[in-house]
Amino acid sequence: MTGLSWEEAPIGRTHNRSGFDCGDADLNTYLQRYARRNHESGGAKCFVAVPIDAPTRILGFYTLSPASLDYARTPAVAKKGLARYDVPVFMLGRLAVDQHEQGRGLGSALLLRAAERCIRVAQHVGGVALLIDAKNDRAASWYESYGALRLADAPLSLVLPLAVAADAVRRG
């Protein structure tokens, strides 16, 4: 992402949630009404991208939570070496970028930050992939460009193996 210095932070009271507009009413509503409460109550954790010089303005966000995926539904590359039980994954529940910042690489940067966070956590608690529910086919195709695989029985649900994500992180 060029031209914008930003940092990532857990969502907090000081962040201006009402000023965020990604162009999707459901994602806007989630951020404005539920993200902080879920974060603080131990539900999905929400991380925001904020400009270094304006740390209350939200440029984008993503949410993560622990999850599992039925072994039979999991792509082979993500379940290699695992017993035939539910596969431990991390749910990338939401990822959105403010309309003013779209097309500048922030979404990619946030996806890679989410992957890095999951890779670190997986070293301590396990987990082999990000489970992603895309909003539409266009979003699903975007995730596929990072190596995510669509689930055969739910084409808007994808699995991004952490090993594949680690390669994307290394490439930058």
The answer for residues whose C-beta is within 8 angstroms of residue 68's C-beta and 6 or more apart is 86, 87, 88, 89
- Where does residue 81 fall: left (phi above 0), alpha (psi -120 to 50 degrees), or beta otherwise? left
143 has catalytic annotation: yes
Does the pLDDT of residue 1 top 70, yes or no? no
User: Which of 30, 62, 143, 146 is the catalytic position?
Assistant: 143
Q: Regarding predicted confidence, which is higher, 144 or 172? A: 144
Residue where the block lists tokens 């910042």: 101
- At 73-112, the pLDDT tens digits run 888 888 888 888 899 999 999 999 999 999 999 999 999 9
- 143-168: burial string, b at 16+ Cβ within 10 Å, e else: beebbbbbbeeeeebbbbbbebbeeb
Domains of the chain from N-terminus onward: 6-171 (3.40.630.30)
